[in-house]
Structure 1
Amino acid sequence: MASGGSGSEGDASTTLLTYKVVKGCAILAASAAAIWLGSEVWDRSCERYAGTGRKGSQWVRKNLRYKPGSTTEYLSKVLKQHSDSRKKRRPRIVYMDGCFDMMHYGHANALRQARACGDYLIVGVVSDEEILKNKGPPVFSEEERITMVKAVKWVDEVITGVPYEVTEEFMRMLFKKHKIDYIIHGDDPCLLPDGRDAYELAKKAGRYMEIKRTEGVSSTDIVGRMLLCSHQVSPFKRSKRHLKTKSMDKIEHDFSLGGSDDECEDEEYARGSEPSTPRAQTKLSNFMPTSRRLIQFANDVSKADKDSVVIYIDGAFDMFHPGHAKILKAAKELGDYLIVGVHDDDVVSKSRGRHYPIMSLHERSLSVLACRYVDEIIMGAPQQITSELLTTFNISIVAHGTVYESAAEDGQYALAIENGIFVEIESESDLSTREIVRRIVSNKDSFEAKFARKSKSEAEYYKQKTYVIEQ
């Protein structure tokens, strides 16, 4: 009996010990989880309110009546230091997607702002099928749009074939596979055909950040510039029969010359002479260039060393497209430092026609500056290669592609050829600004309908927009 009782007491003590060990482990695990959760909540709160600006927390400044030398200044600095410290531990990964059709400096500026919101930017390029379903036909193919996005210097990674709507399934993939912290979009609405917000789920999840849209330009605006020109080259007085038989070569010729409402232009064109009553040049750009914008785009530019191999390439770079990106990449591979000369508007108009360039000098310069292969630009560069140009910038190689969108001036590269520093690069693409114009004009009805829809939404945006601080 005594022996049996002793065994029962031993079992009970073992059970009690096991219980205490399990209880202790559970308490320890719960404490660790509570500490981790509290730390995560604190980090997320500081991420939201600390901001990334040099002057500290924007939230503190906006909501707590920030005053230099006060408690709010101290709090702002503490939050900023915590945000910077957390960045060193784990980079913030942000995501932005888009169609990126008719890539322009507005797209590039959106990507620049998105990159400023984090430490690593992943960009999703919407598929052709999704664009056609939600917006209408794109001008550029998916491959061409991907090439353009990869060429932007603020982009760290590109994923392709993404949906137009950020669905729950797609958002889960972004969070788990790509470790995305925030999904970013401009302050302009992005609506689906049924009127829903394409980023509604991201906003509800609290993982959405908004940046300022770049005003004065959009893909719709650029298409509108070309459509207006195409209207000017399709005179109202011409008969239906004549319009039906008008060739694409004739349309492009009229576009470059500016067109006229006078039917006699066709007769003069048929005789091989230039129209006697040319239409004035069309300029539709609403862009207001500022020194700050140029500095923002040039902020990664470094200086060339004395021994650096400096490459120079010039051109109009109108409607910056994949052909431009590829030739600039090839040019950069020839040396250490790439300088791009961007010709003045008058020079481009003289060689290509009065409706060119589609984009102004400042717009074209920003597009070139946003390219990751470019180190420096010369705005309004001379058309002729001069001794002064070569000496001032210590140019070792003058390059040009095999595709010339406009004929070179007599002796334009004579000095470079004479000095044995001219290199002609085999162009990987034969795409040109004129080809882009042809794509728009040949499918004019579809683009006009798309332009009409987007113009209404953009007009509504500008009517209701409020001031937004740009990153």
Structure 2
Amino acid sequence: MGANGAGGGDALLLHKILGTVLLTAAILRLSAQYLGPLALPPVSAMLPSIALFQSRRKKGKKVRVYMDGCFDMMHYGHANALRQARALGDELVVGVNSDEEIKANKGPPVMSMDERVVMVSSVKWVDEIIKDSPYAINEEFMNKLFTEYGIDYIIHGDDPCLLPDGSDAYAHAKKAGRFKQIKRTEGVSSTDIVGRMLLCMRERSHDSSNHASLQRQFSHGNGPAENGSKSSATRISHFLPTSRRIVQFSNGKGPRPDARIVYMDGAFDLFHAGHVETLKRAKELGDFLLVGIHTDQTVSGHRGLHHPIMNLHERSLSVLACRYVDEVIIGAPWEVTKDMITTFNISLVVHGTCAEPNDLKNGEVDPYHAAKAMGIFKLIESPRDLTTSTIIKRIVSNHDAYKKRNETKVLSEKKYYEDKKYINGD
């Protein structure tokens, strides 16, 4: 209905009433300065019919935005993109590309469709999932998004997304005027993460053939051992953490005084579906889930020089983005002491049954001995037999396929950084 219809008439009438009442209130209060204090009621009490007019106004339609992707080897950069997309609307619908579409356009995915859906669904800014979405948004699928899913805008980062023929995967959305762009998260990509994993395997196996060449290709020569010396870690991250980014990912709320607080700690390296589903089970045991993220030095000391793949702040952001997590301790201690349990008012300490081996150093005690002595320790049956090591093995076992997959990706990422311009926002 147009502006001159019933909706427009109601709005005009409401504005007139508001103006009259507010003007009257102002005059009365001004007069009170000269005539003495007057027992004036608050303006809200003088507007008994406001609610009636507001209820008659047509409710505004929620803005629904759409973002799609492979979400393979999902990391905090993906989560940040989803956060930015959600900020452009009221509801975020996410399309997860099918295995077939990824193979046709990029090469074989590392993670299965089921694992990728679990990861995307766990991100706290996601409202709805569309499985097996096409890699390219053609006109037919775009119209389906607009009509069947009620999508208002299609979102993607400022990095180009090109099809094998060189065309823009979002050309139709841009032509329709329904496309919005967000900033790509600096310092991380699936390509670099794969490079870190291969460097890790290279250091462990001392294999200087396939792993070395593939690592150089994926990491753009930015590995930590460029000078020929062995590094104490495999991180080649260019991520620059800021306090604002941590606040953006945080829930910003503490537990209620009577909350049952569950604590779970770990490395949470290469945050994956196994982590997510175990955290979900942990959250079900209480009201507030506090997660401790071990330092890089702690992880390296217990798992070897090649760990962790992701550094502390990267791992912390990945965990913070999970909808089941309420708060994290960035750099949690290895041992969960009685003092720590008291400080955070922890009711239950949990640990998953499927985890990387953590060898105790000489003189170290069981990190959970205090919780066990207090009778508040519980093992959680891990829903998936998935660890960081199994993901690394997937990459290494399919060396040639992933090498081919990333040849084009490496070139496009290099071009992106060479041509990158500052974009305002986020």
Q: Shorter-chain TM-score: what band?
A: 0.7 to 0.9
Q: Where do 5+ consecutive residues of structure 1 fail to align? A: 1-31, 40-85, 244-257, 263-276
Tell me if structure 2 keeps the 8 A contact 1:223–1:451. Answer: no
Overall identity of the aligned pairs, in %: 58
Q: 2:134 aligns with which of 163, 167, 172?
A: 163
1:120-149, Cα deviation, whole Å (9 max, x unpaired): 000000000000000001000000000000
1:430 alignment counterpart: 385
Task: Give the TM-score, by structure 2 length.
Answer: 0.80
Instruction: Give, in angstroms, the shift of residue 451 of structure 1.
Output: 2.6
- Counterpart CA distance in 2 for 1:87 and 1:125 is 34
Specify the code of the residue in structure 2 equivalent to 1:388.
D
SS in 2 for 1:357: coil
SS in 2 for 1:165: coil
- Counterpart CA distance in 2 for 1:166 and 1:446 is 26
Tell me if structure 1 keeps the 8 A contact 2:202–2:208. Answer: no
Q: Do the aligned partners of residues 428 and 359 (structure 1) sit closer, same or farther apart at CA in structure 2, a change above 3 Å counting?
A: same
Instruction: Give, in angstroms, the shift of residue 279 of structure 1.
Output: 6.0
2:236 alignment counterpart: 284
Tell me if structure 1 keeps the 8 A contact 2:303–2:359. Answer: no
Instruction: Give, in angstroms, the shift of residue 470 of structure 1.
Output: 3.0
Tell me if structure 2 keeps the 8 A contact 1:313–1:339. Answer: yes
Q: Do the aligned partners of residues 383 and 210 (structure 1) sit closer, same or farther apart at CA in structure 2, a change above 3 Å counting?
A: same
Q: Do the aligned partners of residues 35 and 232 (structure 1) sit closer, same or farther apart at CA in structure 2, a change above 3 Å counting?
A: farther
1:23 alignment counterpart: none
Tell me if structure 2 keeps the 8 A contact 1:311–1:331. Answer: yes
Root mean square deviation of aligned Cα: 2.4
Tell me if structure 1 keeps the 8 A contact 2:81–2:182. Answer: yes
Q: 1:398 aligns with which of 349, 356, 364?
A: 349
1:387-426, Cα deviation, whole Å (9 max, x unpaired): 1210111000001111121236432111101101001111
1:177 correspondence with 2:128: no
SS in 2 for 1:434: helix
- Counterpart CA distance in 2 for 1:384 and 1:323 is 23
- Counterpart CA distance in 2 for 1:320 and 1:171 is 32
Higher helix proportion (structure 1 or 2): 1
Q: Do the aligned partners of residues 233 and 396 (structure 1) sit closer, same or farther apart at CA in structure 2, a change above 3 Å counting?
A: closer
Q: Where do 5+ consecutive residues of structure 2 fail to align? A: 9-56, 212-223
- Counterpart CA distance in 2 for 1:169 and 1:417 is 58
Tell me if structure 2 keeps the 8 A contact 1:311–1:396. Answer: yes
Instruction: Give, in angstroms, the shift of residue 237 of structure 1.
Output: 7.5
Specify the code of the residue in structure 1 equivalent to 2:249.
F
1:334 alignment counterpart: 285
SS in 2 for 1:122: strand
1:255-297, Cα deviation, whole Å (9 max, x unpaired): xxx99xx9xxxxxxxxxxxxxx976533201111100100000
Q: 1:296 aligns with which of 223, 248, 255?
A: 248
Task: Give the TM-score, by structure 1 length.
Answer: 0.72
1:285-336, Cα deviation, whole Å (9 max, x unpaired): 11111001000000x2321112100000000000000000001100000010
Q: Count residues with an aligned counterpart.
A: 358
Q: What does 1:30-429 align with in structure 2 at a 5 Å threshold? A: 89-232=60-203, 280-298=232-250, 300-407=251-358, 409=360, 410-429=365-384
- Counterpart CA distance in 1 for 2:206 and 2:337 is 43
- Counterpart CA distance in 1 for 2:88 and 2:152 is 10
Tell me if structure 1 keeps the 8 A contact 2:65–2:86. Answer: yes
- Counterpart CA distance in 1 for 2:139 and 2:4 is 29
- Counterpart CA distance in 1 for 2:414 and 2:83 is 25
Specify the code of the residue in structure 1 equivalent to 2:170.
Y
Q: Do the aligned partners of residues 136 and 399 (structure 1) sit closer, same or farther apart at CA in structure 2, a change above 3 Å counting?
A: same
Q: Do the aligned partners of residues 329 and 224 (structure 1) sit closer, same or farther apart at CA in structure 2, a change above 3 Å counting?
A: same
2:421 alignment counterpart: 466
Instruction: Give, in angstroms, the shift of residue 356 of structure 1.
Output: 0.7
- Counterpart CA distance in 2 for 1:124 and 1:237 is 39
1:449 alignment counterpart: 404
Q: Do the aligned partners of residues 305 and 213 (structure 1) sit closer, same or farther apart at CA in structure 2, a change above 3 Å counting?
A: same
Range that drifts further, 289-298 or 221-230: 221-230
Task: Mark the structure with the bigger radius of gyration.
Answer: 1
Tell me if structure 1 keeps the 8 A contact 2:234–2:308. Answer: no
Instruction: Give, in angstroms, the shift of residue 368 of structure 1.
Output: 0.2
- Counterpart CA distance in 1 for 2:375 and 2:300 is 30
